[in-house]
Structures are given as structure tokens and as C-alpha cells.
Amino acid sequence: MKLEQSFMDFMLHHQERHNRSYNFLVLLEAIQTAAKYIQYFYQTGSLKNMMGEAGAVNCQDENVMKMDDIADAIVLHYLRRSNQVIYAVTEEEPEPIRLNEDGGRYFIYYDPLDGSSNIKHNLPVGFMFAVAKRNLEGPEDGRLRSGAELRAAGIFLIPNGVFTLALADTGVFRFHLDETMTYVRPENSERLMLPEDPREWELSFNASNRTNFSADVRSWIEEHEAKYAFRYMGALAGDFHRLLSNGGMFMYPAIVNHPRPDRNRPKGKLRLLYEANVAAFIAREAGGAAIDEAGNDILDIKPESPHHRTALYVGSRPLVESMRKRLRENK
Ligand code: AHG
Ligand code: MN
Ligand code: MN
């Protein structure tokens, strides 16, 4: 009989080995509990008429799906109960939410359900989160943390039941939901590293936007696309998940040449705090890199607002560096 190591057991040993507090464990316990509830509601949602639109528009002018609301309520509930969070930023609320004035040790930035267009098809979505620590030495000013300050970031792929966690200066680890709804780490599983063999690499972007990218990005794509397989499922969580196994680059470039100028997105579409930084931080811990449209490291961007948007190029370092060079060439 083969029994696997549970996620909490893995974390407990990690914290002990590094002489760290148990507060982080309590926070991660809340996060994984939330993920399991989202998983449960997602799996049964079609039967309960929960996969449609909520009939509202969120602070970012996007149609909210019932499942977005359900997932957000679940996450907030467990974060609040954990007593570990000072401020939470969620995709679904305009302002950071102050959760625990005295006890909160962490900032958490999250997208409760990434890839909303997949919901009505029951296709993969993600719960993505990033964690930073409050200032424990002096007064805490509550400022939004940059990616370089993160201590952890993770993606739960739902309903596939795979959880990828990156820990600062430690690496990337993967856990699978077993028959007892426990996240376990399979025996012999290694730290996750982006593969170095370019023959496996993939490119991932929404090709219907391609004529609207800058001339530099278009020329880069034309020069490189034939070498790599092209994959896109429309959820960063899922697309990035593929890349972590196969290598390559996911990109959501700035939209600068749209025939209807009001549809341009010079700052990109994805949100820095709970989308781009999550992927960028995991990529860094797996040996990769991530940049914005100016060729700057995503993790170094100072967030200007909770829903700060950015263009994103993330994945295997050689591809990201080659794109960085192109983006900077004509500047
Ligand atoms: P969300 O569902 O949380 O709003 O995020 C959707 C994001 C991201 O997951 C995905 O990579 C991207 O939007 C897809 O955008 P397009 O439909 O424009 O390709
Ligand atoms: Mn998202
Ligand atoms: Mn979302």
C-alpha cells in the first residue's frame, strides 16, 4: 500500500525546517479549504444552475458570473476566519478589504475564479493567490506589495484538482487532490522546473488579438511561431499550468492597434497583483522570467492601484529574454 504525503504535512515540515511561524500554516489551511469548496461548487454547479451570469458588472466593468461571486464569498469567509490577513485584494471588490486589524500578518491578493469564459463549459478555471508579509518591526502603512516582496503564490486548477505552490527562495511544488479531498504530494515528485528542451516549448496567446499587437510583438511572433506548438485555453491559470510542464511563453501583450481605438488596452488586460505576479513569481521559482511591455521585470513593478493592469510575457527565460530584447530595441 502506498500512502502519499499530505499538503499540510509538507508545509509543517517546511516551516519547521526553516524555523518559521505557524501563522503561515493557518493561512494556507484556510486557502486550501476555500479551494476545496470552490472545487465542490464548480463540479456540481451545472446541476444547480450556478454556471450562468450573476446579472451584475464588477468594479472592472466585466460581467460577473454566479461562480465568480460564489468563489469570492468562499475565499473571503475562510480568510476572515483564519485571523491571519490584514488586507485582502480580490478581483471582485474595488478596494482592499481590511480583515484583521490586530492579528493579521499577511497581505493576500487573489483572483477567486480565473478564466470566467470557461465556466459555462465546465472547462478548467483557477483560483490564484499571492501572499506578502506585513511589516512586523514598525508601523504598517498598508501599501500594496510588489511581486518582489511576495513570500508565496499559488494556483489551484479547478476542477482538475491540481495545486501548484511557489515558496520564496525555495521552489515550486505540486499537489493533487486525492479520493479523500486531501491535497497530497506524490512520492518522488521533484521541485518543478521549466523544461530546458526547446522542442517541448509552446506559445500561448489569444491569436484573435494578434493584428492589434505592436509591430515589434508581431514581428517577434512571425519569426518564432513556426518553431513551437501553439496552445490557448483562455484561462491564464490553465495556460500557465501547461507551460510549467512543457516550457515556452504565455503572453498577453498590450493592444495598441485595434480598429476601434476605444478597444485598445495599452496597459494590457491582466491584473498585476493577482494574475501577472502570481504567474511571474511561480515562473521565477521555476527558473523562468516575466516582463511587461517595456521589457521590465513584472516582479519589480510598483502597484499603483489594486487592479493595476499590465501586459505580460511569462515563461522560459530564453524566450522571455528574446522578447525583452525586441521590446527594447526600438525604444
Ligand atoms: P478573469 O476570468 O479572472 O476575468 O480572467 C480572465 C483573463 C485570464 O484568465 C485569461 O488569460 C484572459 O483573461 C483571457 O482573455 P481573452 O478572452 O481576451 O483571451
Ligand atoms: Mn483572472
Ligand atoms: Mn476572475
What are phi and psi for residue 137, nearest 5 degrees?
A: -85, -45
- Mean residue pLDDT of the chain comes to 96
Atom nearest to 115 CA in ligand 1: 2
- % of the chain beyond a pLDDT of 90: 91
Which part of the chain is CATH 3.30.540.10?
Answer: 5-185
How far apart are alpha carbons 301 and 200 in whole angstroms? 30
Q: How far is the CA of 237 from the centre of ligand 2 (A)?
A: 8
pLDDT average, residue stretch 285-313:
98
Atom 17 in ligand 1: residue holding the nearest Cα: 234
Q: Within 13 Å of residue 271, how many CA atoms lie on the same side as its CB?
A: 23
Residue 24 in this model has a pLDDT that exceeds 80: yes
pLDDT average, residue stretch 44-70:
92
* Residue 1: predicted pLDDT: 83
Residue 121 in this model has a pLDDT that exceeds 90: yes
Q: Are 241 and 233 in contact (CB under 8 A)?
A: no
Residue 187 in this model has a pLDDT that exceeds 90: no
* Residue 86: predicted pLDDT: 96
* C-beta of 62 in contact with ligand 1 (< 6 A): yes
Q: How far is the CA of 77 from the centre of ligand 3 (A)?
A: 17
Identify the residue with better confidence: 328 or 100: 328
Architecture of domain 198-329: 3-Layer(aba) Sandwich (3.40)
Residue 101 in this model has a pLDDT that exceeds 90: no
Of the candidates 178, 152, 150, 184, which has an alpha carbon nearest to the alpha carbon of residue 166?
152
Query: pLDDT per residue over 122-168, tens digit each?
Result: 999 999 999 999 998 888 899 999 999 999 999 999 999 999 999 99
How far apart are alpha carbons 68 and 149 in whole angstroms? 27
Of the candidates 8, 165, 168, 21, which has an alpha carbon nearest to the alpha carbon of residue 105?
21
Residue 59 in this model has a pLDDT that exceeds 80: yes
* Residue 138: predicted pLDDT: 80
* C-beta of 206 in contact with ligand 1 (< 6 A): yes
**pLDDT-based confidence at 322, cuts 50/70/90?**
very high
Q: How far is the CA of 322 from the centre of ligand 2 (A)?
A: 26
* C-beta of 155 in contact with ligand 1 (< 6 A): no
* C-beta of 91 in contact with ligand 1 (< 6 A): yes
* Cα 310 → chain centroid: 13
Q: How far is the CA of 92 from the centre of ligand 3 (A)?
A: 7
* C-beta of 114 in contact with ligand 1 (< 6 A): yes
* Residue 188: predicted pLDDT: 85
Q: Is 18 exposed, middle or buried (0-12, 13-18, 19+ CB in 10 A)?
A: exposed
* Cα 297 → chain centroid: 16
**pLDDT-based confidence at 119, cuts 50/70/90?**
very high
The C-alpha cell that represents 285 in the structure block: 521559482
pLDDT average, residue stretch 197-217:
96
Residue 103 in this model has a pLDDT that exceeds 80: no
* C-beta of 124 in contact with ligand 1 (< 6 A): no
* C-beta of 234 in contact with ligand 1 (< 6 A): yes
**CA pseudo-torsion sign 170, 101, 129, 30:** positive
What are the angstrom distances between the C-alpha of 140 and each of 88, 104, 131, 132, 143? 15, 11, 16, 13, 8
* Residue 252: predicted pLDDT: 98
Pick from 53, 60, 116 the residue to mutate for probing ligand 1's pocket: most ligand atoms within 8 Å of its CB: 116
- % of the chain beyond a pLDDT of 70: 100
Atom nearest to 117 CA in ligand 1: 2
Q: Within 13 Å of residue 107, how many CA atoms lie on the same side as its CB?
A: 22
* Residue 2: predicted pLDDT: 82
* Residue 158: predicted pLDDT: 98
Pick from 239, 269, 272 the residue to mutate for probing ligand 1's pocket: most ligand atoms within 8 Å of its CB: 269
pLDDT average, residue stretch 15-43:
95
Q: CATH assignment of 5-185?
A: 3.30.540.10
**CA pseudo-torsion sign 56, 62, 67, 73:** negative
Which part of the chain is CATH 3.40.190.80?
Answer: 198-329
Residues in CB range of 323: below 8 A, 6 or more apart: 217, 220, 249, 251, 291, 295, 313
